[in-house]
Chain A
């Protein structure tokens, strides 16, 4: 509901917002320009009487003196019988420049307040401002919900893509946008008479004046008592008309001055409403508060980007909305799939699972988690696929699930498996999935297998989970849902170095170059960046969908886009479709792939020691980190291979890095050499030194197979125990990172 309130007005008014904010940004410069040209006397330096006297000396036919909010003094006079308007130096009363309101500023102002459409345009602009207020307020609420509390607004925001850009921009601009929108709405309401207009409260003209001989303006007490900084407007009486009078408007109020007695007549102080209106105008236009105007103008430039990312998020969510295919009745189904989804992406995975289960002969019922029935009489298997919303909360279509669970009376034969979707960067990764898994277990249900957590909609992890399920249920499942088929770029193989054939572990370092000519029509049509190659860094992932393959395989990158080449390290798996495809490539062959950023696997910035651990092809990103270490931060590499003669990957490069001190120490272990050892053994041998490094704040990065990573984690647990630490502790602090496959 709240999201609709946020998105719908945004979609409707995007065009108007674009015009309003860009024109607003242009207008925001005007007060600064005016202020920089204005000469402003110190407070108390110049009274209105002195100002008027000096102006009159230079412009004897002066009719009116106006002080703009930015401090410019405009004099209207009739020099040479020609009406003219000039800007003057207030201190000397001398001519500065002709006063000619800028035509373009007027045009932009009219574009801003009425889309150049008169009063109907003004109404449109006013409505847009009110919509903007709604969007700001609903946006703040959504952001606070998503981040888990007000204090989280100040911390770094996790996530990726449009969502993150939208959130980042929003939190930096929302206060300014809210001020602009609120003040704009107010001004529009006043214009249309919805709120009272203070300008209607003007003093009435004096009935009676003394009619005596006019005295020089400089001697008028009422003008001597007003500082020139408070002046808004002083209108002079007609020459030779003794019945006429001065009209004075100041920031304090308005009144008239007898030109003979100097007495202030009919003075009416500004009402509270008028003061309010004045400040609202100042806040909206920045006139008289130039720096604030610039601030608001700068913030309003964020709106076009907010609109674009907002529309993109909406579109992604929309295209993720899939109606479940033929779903069996809950009483008849033997397999139940319940989905908890906020952004709808989980439905795609659920549908793929459903299709595969139906193909395997199952009768499947698929529904939102909130639609939990009190019983599924024929069901033996329950799958829960759910994301987590905000700070460990339930997605909107699952928010009643835990409460409904009390009324749930499952048959004892019902077994379940929970699959959580989330982003590892969030502290409460898949928290709602964990809660549901726990709750079902407490309900007495048996797990098919422990909860699995899928990071960032990873197609690979989903496929692996499917394989596990296949084994446990003894059915054939080939899950191949790839939520976002990323835009691919063409790469050409330019170099390959082959290792490990002799030890039955063929591993190759493959170097690709982006094919620059791929400025395809497709890209142009989709308004993609001109430059077809996205930027990447070591540790990011390179996705390739092999021919006849369904979902892409991801390989850790060993190079950065600044290197000009894309480098991966690939071990040929006996049955691996993709690794065989890559190993069969010849120099000059072309492949299509995409970059998936992986900011969660990067060495920390700073000068603390970095301990790199890997085995086999896992050395790829680690070698990349070392190559980039031109700042010579202390880096230590522990790596395990099979035989130094055959699969010592990156041997020449690593030796060079040792020489130029990009790498402090290289520790290797070989499992098929004379002294058989694994990387865990090499780490264990250095336990003392490593403990000291970690005590000093070192970070550990592990890349390789899951088995190796588990072994390494156990060794480190023992190493850091004397420090009253554990790998879990270090992980929570972001000091123990894993990239495993």
Chain B
């Protein structure tokens, strides 16, 4: 089901590609630890080099009332629905690997911007910016691990 959504998203991405020549499809792969809790809320977003929020790429977790626990992202985005409308999916379960492809504006690549991930799980600790990696062509394919629930994170430019 989720794959279909991603596929569909990828498809719309591909369609927009023809219109906006400067967009670049990127594959994101995130694997979670077996932290032994309920489904994780995960926010993937872009900041500038100082950590200033720029744009939300993806939110997993359906209940927006828990989004405040993704604290850095929440603060940056101001929890405005416009920031995450249409780009949220189901929460990710313990140990799950999930991959999705998103369109990212060329202007963000190799321009000092960072990819960040905030995570939260019910009754367990919240992790602000547990992943911080620069979004560069040379950084593609490099695996990093987070301080919290993210075992590994990698992105590939197509």
* Residues on A facing B (Cβ under 8 Å): 63-64, 76, 78, 82-83, 85, 101, 103, 106, 110, 197, 199-200, 202, 204-205, 235, 238, 247
Contacts and interface: CB of A to CB of B under 8 A. Distances in A.
A64 B126 CA distance: 9
Interface of B: 36-38, 64-65, 68, 71, 74-75, 78-79, 123-128, 130, 147-148
B131 to A, nearest CB: 13
Given A83-B148, A200-B65, A101 B125 contact: no
B144 to A, nearest CB: 15
A199 B122 CA distance: 14
Contacts of A85: 124-125
A179 B123 CA distance: 25
Nearest to A76: B125
13 contacts: A76-B126, A83-B130, A83-B148, A85-B124, A85-B125, A101-B124, A106-B36, A199-B65, A200-B64, A205-B74, A205-B78, A238-B128, A247-B71
A85 B38 CA distance: 17
B38 A106 contact: yes
A85 B75 CA distance: 23
A-B pairs, 5 with minimum CB distance: A199-B65, A76-B125, A83-B147, A85-B125, A101-B123
A204 B126 contact: no
Contacts of A199: 65
Contact of B147 (A78, A197, A238): A78
Contacts of B124: 85, 101
Contacts of B75: 205
Contacts of B74: 205
Contacts of B125: 64, 76, 83, 85
A462 B148 CA distance: 78
Contacts of A83: 125, 127, 130, 147-148
Contact of A235 (B37, B71, B147): B71
Contacts of A197: 65
Name the residue among B68, B79, B128, B148 with the largest chain A CB count within 10 angstroms: B68
Contact of B78 (A101, A106, A200, A204): A204
A197 B67 CA distance: 14
A106 B127 contact: no
A202 B68 contact: yes
Contacts of A238: 128
Determine chain B's interface SS by DSSP, over half rule.
Answer: loop
B55 to A, nearest CB: 18
Contacts of B130: 83
A106 B68 CA distance: 22
Nearest to A256: B75
A112 B85 CA distance: 32
Contacts of A106: 36-38, 123
Nearest to B124: A101
A644 to B, nearest CB: 83
A103 B94 CA distance: 13
B61 to A, nearest CB: 13
A237 to B, nearest CB: 10
Contacts of A103: 36
B35 to A, nearest CB: 10
B99 to A, nearest CB: 22
A530 to B, nearest CB: 41
A38 to B, nearest CB: 16
A83 B126 CA distance: 10
A110 B38 contact: yes
A238 B118 CA distance: 14
A196 to B, nearest CB: 11
Contacts of B68: 202
B37 A101 contact: yes
A197 B64 CA distance: 11
Residue of A83, A202, A204 most packed against chain B (CB within 10 A) = A83
Contacts of A247: 71
A83 B64 CA distance: 25
A106 B147 CA distance: 23
A76 B124 CA distance: 9
A199 B68 CA distance: 10
Contacts of A101: 37, 123-124
A235 B69 CA distance: 10
A103 B37 CA distance: 8
Nearest to A101: B123
A324 B65 CA distance: 62
Contacts of A76: 125-126
Query: Which of B65, B124, B125 has the most C-beta atoms of chain A within 10 angstroms of its own C-beta?
Result: B125
Nearest to A241: B51
Given A83-B125, A101-B37, A205-B74, 19 more contacts: A63-B128, A64-B125, A78-B147, A83-B147, A83-B148, A101-B123, A103-B36, A106-B36, A106-B38, A106-B123, A110-B38, A197-B65, A200-B64, A200-B65, A202-B68, A204-B79, A205-B75, A205-B78, A247-B71
B52 to A, nearest CB: 10
Contacts of B36: 103, 106
Contacts of B64: 200
Nearest to A202: B68
A247 B64 CA distance: 19
B156 to A, nearest CB: 27
A198 to B, nearest CB: 9
Nearest to B72: A238
A76 B147 CA distance: 12
A369 to B, nearest CB: 58
Contacts of B65: 197, 199-200
Nearest to A84: B125
Nearest to A107: B36
Nearest to B129: A238
- Candidate in A202, A205, A247 with the most chain B CB atoms within 10 angstroms: A205
A110 B37 CA distance: 11
A90 B36 CA distance: 27
A76 B126 CA distance: 8
A110 B39 CA distance: 12
B114 to A, nearest CB: 15
B90 to A, nearest CB: 9
A378 to B, nearest CB: 74
B123 to A, nearest CB: 5
A85 B37 CA distance: 14
A78 B147 CA distance: 9
A516 to B, nearest CB: 52
Contacts of A200: 64-65
B154 to A, nearest CB: 21
